[in-house]
Copies of this chain bind each other. A is one copy, B any other.
Amino acid sequence: MALVVQKYGGTSVANIERIRNVARRVAKTYDDGNDVIVVVSAMSGETNKLVALANEMCEFPSEREYDVLVATGEQVTIALLSMCLQSMGYKAKSYMGHQIPILTDSTFSKARIEKIDDKKVREDLKNGTIIVVAGFQGVDREGNTTTLGRGGSDTSAVAVAAGLKADVCEIYTDVDGVYTTDPRIVPDATKIEKISYDEMLEMASLGAKVLQIRSVEFAKKYGVVVHVRSSFNDNPGTLVMKEDADMETVLVSGITYNKDEAKISVMRVPDKPGIASILFTPLSHANITVDMIIQNVSNEGYTDMTFTVPKTDFKKALKIVEESAKEIAAGAVRSDENIAKVSIVGVGMRSHSGVASKMFQTLSQEGINIQMISTSEIKVSCVIDAKYTELAVRVLHDAFGLSKKDVKAE
């Protein structure tokens, strides 16, 4: 008998009929002889409705009260799913974050889970109860309701799996698993059978939206095996797990892209100590995350600095940078919102040379100019003109042999 944690996202519980489907799936897992904990999101659309209410109420809603408001979405789902399981003849019991409790810090609207108490849940499991947990929410030490940020239910599920030492954490979603790239762009993208935590982290950071990044960090930290699969069929999905020897044989596991960043360049920056700090400290104080940073080789005591910021913070960032540029007597500030970041990810890169140059060559053959480059041990990212995004993804997917036909041919 195994302990299985299953997480169902908003589209899987979007209406009464879909909640019934989820209940049947949960019941089947229970009937197969497993203990089951289900973590659910709000019915799709509900969280957006609640956020709209908050924004209609006032421009800058208090984060404590925002969390009280949006936490109601998951509360509705756990009640409905528990009712459904009970009406099917199963013992079921809903748990809100504060009832387990799922203890978090007090960073409202993006709280971090600190501890999960397993006592009450374990008692209920012992007497054959299916546990239904509200994802996305927790409680801080003062008893305030907190939420974990968008997509936080993934993290709830992995944290519950870690806290209860579950055998597997199944994340049900509306796709069959993690793909080598976005199948809307490359129709013969392949489902990845298994992927390492580090690769999944890079994929998630770089734009693959199937799992919340923090949930992957959590899974890695506690060694939770995550199975990403579809709630609409029984196909096996993608296992996110510790790196194994098989994975190293694959050069590139996936191609990601991201159109959510904008580029800012500061020209003729005096090249002396402390300049970078003057440019970037005010951005950090304004809570703006700077992603890629490139500094050209110094030329006659001057250099150019280029970096990317989220598009949502672009205007704010530009204003701040223009002031800083004046302060350090730099040259013009240039900006570009029409960029995309295309990345290749794979643990195999560590032991194989030539992967980056193959990427650059592939892009150049299509006449795609590379504006910025950033690399880590297991990924290479290039910033390009946004209009080439789809083309770049397709040719890279082909060049690294990720299509179905290539995989089968091997």
Q: A16-B56, A57-B16, A98-B98 are in contact. Are A69 and B65 (CB under 8 A)?
A: no
* A78 in the interface (beta carbon within 8 A): yes
Closest chain-B Cβ to A249's Cβ sits at a distance in Å of 49
Q: What are the residues of chain B within 8 A of A82 when measuring CB–CB?
A: 62, 65, 68
- Contact present for B66 and A79 (CB under 8 Å): yes
* A19 in the interface (beta carbon within 8 A): yes
- Contact present for B58 and A68 (CB under 8 Å): no
Interface residues of A in 64-116 (CB under 8 A from B): 64-66, 68-69, 71-72, 75-76, 78-80, 82-84, 86-87, 93-94, 96, 98-99
Q: A86's contact among B50, B65, B76, B94, by CB below 8 Å, is which?
A: B65
Closest chain-B Cβ to A67's Cβ sits at a distance in Å of 8
Q: What are the residues of chain B within 8 A of A78 when measuring CB–CB?
A: 65, 68
Q: What are the residues of chain B within 8 A of A87 when measuring CB–CB?
A: 57-61
Once the chains are docked, how many angstroms separate the CA of A78 from the CA of B72?
12
Q: What are the residues of chain B within 8 A of A99 when measuring CB–CB?
A: 143-144
Closest chain-B Cβ to A356's Cβ sits at a distance in Å of 49
Q: Which residue of B lies closest to A58 (CB)?
A: B87
Closest chain-B Cβ to A53's Cβ sits at a distance in Å of 6
* A54 in the interface (beta carbon within 8 A): yes
Once the chains are docked, how many angstroms separate the CA of A82 from the CA of B16?
32
Q: What secondary structure prevails in chain A residues at the interface with B?
A: helix
Once the chains are docked, how many angstroms separate the CA of A84 from the CA of B61?
8
Q: What are the residues of chain B within 8 A of A66 when measuring CB–CB?
A: 79, 83
Q: Which residue of B lies closest to A144 (CB)?
A: B99
- Contact present for A68 and B56 (CB under 8 Å): no
Interface residues of A in 164-199 (CB under 8 A from B): none
Contact indicator per residue, chain A 28-67, by CB within 8 Å of chain B (1) or not (0)? 0000000000000000000000100110111111101110
Once the chains are docked, how many angstroms separate the CA of A96 from the CA of B56?
22
- Contact present for A69 and B75 (CB under 8 Å): yes
Contact indicator per residue, chain A 350-374, by CB within 8 Å of chain B (1) or not (0)? 0000000000000000000000000
Closest chain-B Cβ to A333's Cβ sits at a distance in Å of 34
Closest chain-B Cβ to A56's Cβ sits at a distance in Å of 5
Q: What are the residues of chain B within 8 A of A62 when measuring CB–CB?
A: 82-83, 86
Q: A57's contact among B19, B71, B93, by CB below 8 Å, is which?
A: B19
Closest chain-B Cβ to A253's Cβ sits at a distance in Å of 41
- Contact present for B76 and A69 (CB under 8 Å): yes
Once the chains are docked, how many angstroms separate the CA of A56 from the CA of B19?
11
**A57, A59, A75, A86: residue with the most chain B Cβ atoms closer than 10 Å:** A57
Q: A76's contact among B16, B59, B72, by CB below 8 Å, is which?
A: B72
Contact indicator per residue, chain A 127-164, by CB within 8 Å of chain B (1) or not (0)? 00000000000000001110000000000000000000
Contacts beyond the supplied A68-B96, A72-B75: 20 A-B pairs with Cβ under 8 Å:
A16-B57, A19-B57, A53-B80, A54-B80, A57-B80, A57-B84, A58-B86, A62-B83, A64-B94, A65-B79, A65-B80, A65-B82, A65-B94, A66-B79, A68-B79, A68-B82, A69-B75, A71-B75, A72-B76, A75-B75
**7 closest residue pairs by CB, A with B:** A69-B79, A58-B87, A72-B72, A68-B79, A65-B79, A65-B82, A61-B83
Q: Which residues of A contact B (CB under 8 A)?
A: 16, 19, 50, 53-54, 56-62, 64-66, 68-69, 71-72, 75-76, 78-80, 82-84, 86-87, 93-94, 96, 98-99, 143-145
